Amino acid sequence: MIRFTISDIRLPKMTKYIFVTGGVTSSLGKGIVASSIGVLLQSRGLKVTIQKFDPYINVDPGTLNPYEHGECYVTDDGAETDLDLGHYERFLNISTSQANNVTTGRVYQTVISKEREGAYLGKTVQVIPHITDEIKRCILQLGSSGDYDVIITELGGTVGDIESLPYVESVRQLKWELGSTNAIVVHLTLIPYLSTAKELKTKPTQHSVKELSRNGLTPDLLVCRTDRKLGRDMCSKLARFCNVDQNSVIEAIDAATIYDVPILLQEQQIEQIILAKLRLSSLQKSDISEWKAFLKKLKNPDTHIEIGLVGKYIELQDAYKSILESFIHAGARLRCRVSIRPIHSEDLDQENTTEKLAGLHGILVAPGFGNRGVEGKIAAIRYVRENKIPFFGICLGMQCAVIEFARNVMGLSTAHSREMEPETAYPIIDMMEEQKNITTKGGTMRLGAYDCDLVAGSKIQKAYGSTSIQERHRHRYELNNQFLEQIESAGLSATGTNPQSGLVEAVELEDHPWFVGVQFHPEFKSRVTKPHPLFVAFVKAAMNFKSNGSEVRKNQEQY
């Protein structure tokens, strides 16, 4: 007879769920709070991922105007996602995928196609249970892989919005099904200060918690955004009226940088509170020394440079979120404060580049779509190429560098991208045949991670320290290989190539301190504790440029 002891029985590992909801107003930083909680749980040795549910009807944010929704973040598997996924990846040093971002549009799309296939056997398809069941399936999908100890789910929108209701209901059902030690709710809210009354006010928070309770959900933790200390009395008042434990009222005071947030939350023992509620015990001691080392460097720079960011969405910082964060990571690594001067590409032309770019130590020309502002980008590139100022071009930025080179060095004065000028005689940037065929099927972009081989000894190869890399893409057009020989013999080298398709992924000028353009988006792979090598190399080049005493204006006299 076989005898079992308790220790022989292997219980399936239960994935724990943390739901992050938001109350009172949007833009409270749910993504940063969710990411910070993730960092703290990771520091205990737990495997964590984060997913976001967005309550809009678009199937994904790929078609949303950056003015509406900020940057569209791209994952390795080619999903076009919400920019909060960028925070998740940067904070947790993880890679996310399509499964990490679900929208109401996607949920409905799935349910409606199932209905068309007859999957509901003639039943009336309704928000409850069909939409909520699909939401629940999506929420549990990553957890069912068994790869994670904890899944954090951020619910977009604000509690009380009509669109949020099916999500709140799904979380209510899941909490009940999984049990209160396997699923908890963290509610992020705002405690405003009324200057006339000289008082912090809890009423909006009470109302938003009441709204949650009306839908059958009570928060396990309350994270309160505030611009000043809450104090014990305020916390006990909030606890009493919002039905949470007193130690579960956490203050999220305005921080100097988003990277302070994990530390500020840890000081209030948020991770111990969460671990206790989820019955996760005997874990390793928290280790966030790498994070703290990053913060120390970030806050104590030895030097300072200024980089010009040339783009057409510069009024909205969120449009270039990942690029801005990548500079923070790279700057901290090099103990250099990187200030960014946003420069609207539409304001630039041949005549005013000297004035507009004065004092800069490097210029990054941003990604983008469409004709608007392209000539300004090209003017900026001509200026930095001729004046040997460090240049970094990303996606459209790289394409503009090739156009500029074709026009002003190769003498093809009307060279252009087919995207901007369909009838151009010199389509130096063009849509590839294979891509045109894909267009008819609807998927028009090259999206997600592709391999890239680098030329040994090139600037880009030295930056990576490797000859084969993988980077993420989001574009339709490519450098036209029919012109490649001509481009290379005129002095712009293709130093990165896709080994499968032969498409050019990176170009650089040899006779220049640092002039690199990449067809891919390196900014999506920069991490707090692992800055991206290309951003590090570019910042280094700008630091050298500065220390050689050659800021833009001085340089101008030389050439």
* CA proximity to 366, closest of 351, 346, 386: 346
DSSP letter for each residue of 524-558: GG--SSS--HHHHHHHHHHHHHHHTT--HHHHHHH
* CA proximity to 542, closest of 219, 241, 307, 232: 307
The answer to whether residue 377 forms part of the interface with ligand GLN (CB under 6 A) is no
User: Which residues from 71-110 bind ligand GLN, rule CB under 6 A?
Assistant: none
Nearer to ligand GLN among residue 241 and residue 369 (C-beta): 369
- Contact region for ligand GLN (CB under 6 A) — 172-180, 228-236, 362-370, 508-516? 362-370
Q: Under DSSP, is residue 140 helix (H, G, I), strand (E, B) or coil?
A: helix
Nearer to ligand GLN among residue 213 and residue 371 (C-beta): 371
**Residue 266 — φ and ψ, nearest 5°?**
-65, -35
The answer to whether residue 474 forms part of the interface with ligand GLN (CB under 6 A) is yes
How far is 537 from 532, CA to CA, in rounded Å?
Answer: 9
The answer to whether residue 472 forms part of the interface with ligand GLN (CB under 6 A) is no
The answer to whether residue 438 forms part of the interface with ligand GLN (CB under 6 A) is no
The answer to whether residue 424 forms part of the interface with ligand GLN (CB under 6 A) is no
- Contact region for ligand GLN (CB under 6 A) — 1-9, 17-25, 250-258, 363-371? 363-371
User: 238-247: long-range contacts at Cβ-Cβ below 8 A with a sequence spacing of 24 or more?
Assistant: 238/191, 238/202, 238/205, 241/202, 241/206, 241/209, 242/205, 242/206, 242/209, 243/209, 243/213, 243/218, 243/219, 244/218, 244/219, 244/220, 245/273, 247/273
How far is 345 from 328, CA to CA, in rounded Å?
Answer: 23
How far is 212 from 195, CA to CA, in rounded Å?
Answer: 28
Nearer to ligand GLN among residue 18 and residue 395 (C-beta): 395
Nearer to ligand GLN among residue 277 and residue 312 (C-beta): 312
Among 212, 395, 428, 494, binds ligand GLN (CB under 6 A): 395
- Write down the H helix ranges in 66-164: 66-69, 84-92, 104-116, 132-141
Nearer to ligand GLN among residue 271 and residue 523 (C-beta): 523
Catalytic residue among 235, 242, 336, 395: 395
Checking DSSP bridges between strand 48-54 and strand 101-103, what pairing results, if any?
parallel
Nearer to ligand GLN among residue 294 and residue 313 (C-beta): 313
The answer to whether residue 525 forms part of the interface with ligand GLN (CB under 6 A) is no
Q: Quick one: tokens of 369?
A: 């779509």
Among 165, 286, 369, 513, binds ligand GLN (CB under 6 A): 369
The answer to whether residue 166 forms part of the interface with ligand GLN (CB under 6 A) is no
Q: For residue 475, indicate whether it is catalytic.
A: no
The answer to whether residue 541 forms part of the interface with ligand GLN (CB under 6 A) is no
Nearer to ligand GLN among residue 69 and residue 237 (C-beta): 69
How many whole angstroms from its chain centre is CA 335?
23
How far is 254 from 229, CA to CA, in rounded Å?
Answer: 10
The answer to whether residue 368 forms part of the interface with ligand GLN (CB under 6 A) is yes
Q: For residue 551, indicate whether it is catalytic.
A: no
159 secondary structure, DSSP code: B
Min separation Cβ 175 and ligand GLN, Å: 40
* CA proximity to 420, closest of 396, 386, 454: 396
Among 396, 402, 479, 542, binds ligand GLN (CB under 6 A): 396
Q: Total residues at the site for ligand GLN (CB under 6 A)?
A: 10
The answer to whether residue 367 forms part of the interface with ligand GLN (CB under 6 A) is yes
Min separation Cβ 444 and ligand GLN, Å: 9
Angle at Cα 220 formed by Cα 216 and Cα 223, nearest 5°? 115
* CA proximity to 115, closest of 99, 98, 133, 103: 133
- Contact region for ligand GLN (CB under 6 A) — 11-19, 53-61, 242-250, 470-478? 470-478
Task: Catalogue the active-site residues.
Answer: 395, 521, 523
Task: Please report, as ranges, the residues that interact with ligand GLN according to CB under 6 A.
Answer: 367-369, 395-396, 419, 474-477
